[in-house]
Structure 1
Amino acid sequence: MRILLILLILMSISFSSVSAQIRSEIIEYKQGETVMEGYLAYDDSIKGKRPGVLVVHDWTGVGSYIRARAQQLASLGYVAFAPDLYGKNIRPADNKEAAKISGELKNDRLLLRLRVNAGLDILRNHPLTDTDKLGAIGYCFGGMTVLELARSGAKIAGVVSFHGNLDTSSESNAIHTKVLILHGAEDPVVPPSQITAFEDEMRKAGVDWQLNVYSGAAHNFTNPISPAYNRQTDKRSFEAMKDFFAEVFNP
């Protein structure tokens, strides 16, 4: 029964708009000498340029879940690109391997920023992307990554972190973008002290930021294959993201 429910939820993510004509493609590109393999999705029924959104993967890499999220963003009228932070054919086989690979990037924030900015360049240079309207979302490890993208000084309209790590940085004065944090109140990965430090970082840097905290939600509350999946919070947080992008893309 649970497997059937998961499949139904993933299908609802992938096909949230029946009128959309979603096209997708695998895009191979490089960051330095490393070959990367990302996933692009857009609605072919829409004519002309439209806002572009990076959809940054969790620690499992560019898999079925993040591709479904990219399709969901495409159905809303965005060019959605899921960048590859690990490298072509580097896809963790289990959580232990995922923790190791993501941990290497977490401990090398410069490389992480180079990787996510390389993906942003692919999105920015796509012929359908309105380069004046760029944003990024990320899940778990990807949530932390989009905050590093903001701290790198990327000139984009907004970033959204879904249940991401909130550890702080001394480089927050470089942030030029608005920030939305979508956080589960029962997330054991992000202690209250980390939230307090993050809030202080944002205030001191003068960032336009928001923090939504959802009761009863733990870490990874958006992913149907996670035991912590919370359907109500998944829906609420996604609606918050939609409202955020409506604001930052149409000031």
Structure 2
Amino acid sequence: MTDFSAVLQQLIDTVAAPGARPEESVVTYEHDGRAMEGFSVHDAAVAGPKPAVLVVHDWTGLREYPKARAHMLARLGYFAFCADVYGQGRRFDNDDDSSAEARKYYGDLPLLRARVRAAYDVLAARPEVDAARIAVIGYCFGGSAALEFARTGAPLRGTVSFHGALIAHEPADVAAIDGALLVLTGGADEVVPDAAVAKFQDELRTREDLDWEVTTYAGAEHGFTLPGEAHHAVADRRSWRALEAFLAEVLDGG
């Protein structure tokens, strides 16, 4: 089992799961000849096939944080799979390197979408997973990636972005989105200011039947769920509860 830091283990333990039997695995796969290394976790005490959640990492790559969130999802009864957008061994611990890597994908959205698709295909093929009930979520860079993937028309029940950059497309590119969207953003996010949120919402409004919701948390800066200076406890707690309710509705019919 992953040995999480005290901060992340405390986060995981906010989701109670008496009797849970978490099973982890490192999942290697390929995209266009590049080796990728994902991570899966589910509760073996919960009978399958299970609804599933694809988790897309922030700009540092697939490190411990998205794995901790995956454990929280597993405690809720979902099969959680962390995508690897960057490729095996490409994990970063400083903003300069993380930014340089992320820009490669922001500058090539078809590649970004394809990397998420590769992980989605691995997840959907798992025997423990109900492939008809999959959602995708992401944090920061991963939130943007999740929203871009939704634009491809992938068969998703829902898509959730936590403090992701909101990339508005001109002309609008929302016709193929399948499932509902939940966008969770910070009211003090300098990376995603109110004008960017408004522009993104205007694009969503071009499709009348699209199911979407945007929630803005007062005082929350960019990266408000991540451990560190920008962490906003209230927004973190409320956004997780929003996710739980959203997944219960779109994956469990609750």
- TM class, shorter-length: over 0.9
* Alignment correspondent of 1:165: 165
User: How far off is 1:250 after superposition?
Assistant: 3.5
What is the RMSD of the two structures over their aligned residues, measured on CA atoms?
1.4
The one-letter amino acid paired with 1:166 is L
- Matched with 2:59 is 59
- Number of residue pairs aligned between Structure 1 and Structure 2: 245
TM-score (norm 2): 0.93
Matches within 5 A, 1:1-251: 7-15=5-13, 16-19=15-18, 20-169=20-169, 170-206=172-208, 207-224=210-227, 226-251=228-253
CA contact (8 A) 2:39 2:83 kept: yes
**Displacement of 1:205:** 2.4
For 1:222 and 1:192, locate their aligned partners in 2 and report how far apart those are by CA, in whole Å: 19
Q: Which structure dedicates a bigger proportion of its chain to helix?
A: 1
Matched letter for residue 9 of structure 2: M
Poorly superposed stretches of 4+, deviation over 3 Å: 6-9
Q: Which moved more, 1:157-166 or 1:206-215?
A: 206-215
Q: Distance in 2 between matches of 1:165 and 1:200?
A: 15
Measure how far apart 1:12 and its partner are: 2.2
Q: For the residues of structure 2 that align with 1:238 and 1:31, how far apart are their CA atoms?
A: 31
Structure 2 residue matching 1:242: 3-state secondary structure: helix
Stretches of structure 2 that go unaligned for 5 or more consecutive residues are none
User: 2 CA distance for matches of 1:150 and 1:47?
Assistant: 28
Match of 1:200, SS state, is helix
- 1:174 is displaced (CA, Å) by 1.4
| Structure 1: gaps (5+ residues) | 1-5
- Cα distance in 1 for residues equivalent to 2:11 and 2:51: 20
Cα distance in structure 2, aligned partners of 1:103 and 1:196: 23
TM-aligned CA deviation for residue 22 of structure 1: 1.0
Task: Provide TM-score, normalisation by structure 1.
Answer: 0.94
Q: 1:7 deviation in Å?
A: 4.7
Q: Which amino acid in 2 is paired with 1:195?
A: V
Q: Quick one: percent identity of the two aligned structures?
A: 39
Mapped contact 2:8–2:65 kept (Cα < 8 A) = yes
- Aligned counterparts of 2:115 and 2:205: Cα–Cα separation in 1: 27
What amino acid is the match of 2:234?
Q
